[in-house]
Structure 1
């Protein structure tokens, strides 16, 4: 199984959760029919605006989906940049081990 560092986690102006890997690209992830998509312009995975699921649920879903469907583990590092992510959510995400 491959690994890639997450260089950025963001909640954007549309209230989507974005996860930006350092090198890997996942343009075909939409085929999983999981509501996870790839933004070619920003080179990141993203969720829809949360409805029933929390941002933490979406984070878990995205990184788990990449493990099962793409055989790649996405890793948070000390240099991961956090944009518009509340501190409590940041802590919860860091505590999750996929």
Structure 2
């Protein structure tokens, strides 16, 4: 299984959760949409993103994206030790951090 490192987690202006990776990615990442699970690759931002958040929390989408990427692309997303959080509520950051320990 391949691995990519997530260095930034962003809730963007479109209310989409994005997990940005440190590298350039791979052209095959665009095919994650085929899982029909609301997860997409953003080539410009170099990250995996959700559809606009409505009913699910940030933390639920975070783990959904990780799972879909793992299943659909055989790719493990690992977290950088110095991750950057942008527009993510503190309680949601804590839920994600605690679940990853």
Q: Does 1:40 align with 2:43?
A: yes
- The answer as to whether partners of 1:6 and 1:80 remain within 8 angstroms in 2 is yes
- The answer as to whether partners of 1:30 and 1:38 remain within 8 angstroms in 2 is yes
Partner Cα distance (1:21, 1:78) in 2: 13
Q: Which runs of 5+ in 1 are unaligned?
A: none
2:64 to 23, 47, 61: 61
Q: Name the TM-score, length of structure 2 as normaliser.
A: 0.86
Partner Cα distance (1:77, 1:54) in 2: 22
- The answer as to whether partners of 2:3 and 2:77 remain within 8 angstroms in 1 is yes
Q: Tell me the SS of whatever aligns to 1:27.
A: helix
Higher helix share: 2
- The answer as to whether partners of 2:39 and 2:48 remain within 8 angstroms in 1 is yes
The residue aligned with 1:13 is 13
Partner Cα distance (1:62, 1:34) in 2: 9
Count of equivalent residues? 97
Q: Name the TM-score, length of structure 1 as normaliser.
A: 0.88
The Cα RMSD (Å) is 1.3
CA drift of 1:96 comes to 2.3
Partner Cα distance (2:89, 2:55) in 1: 19
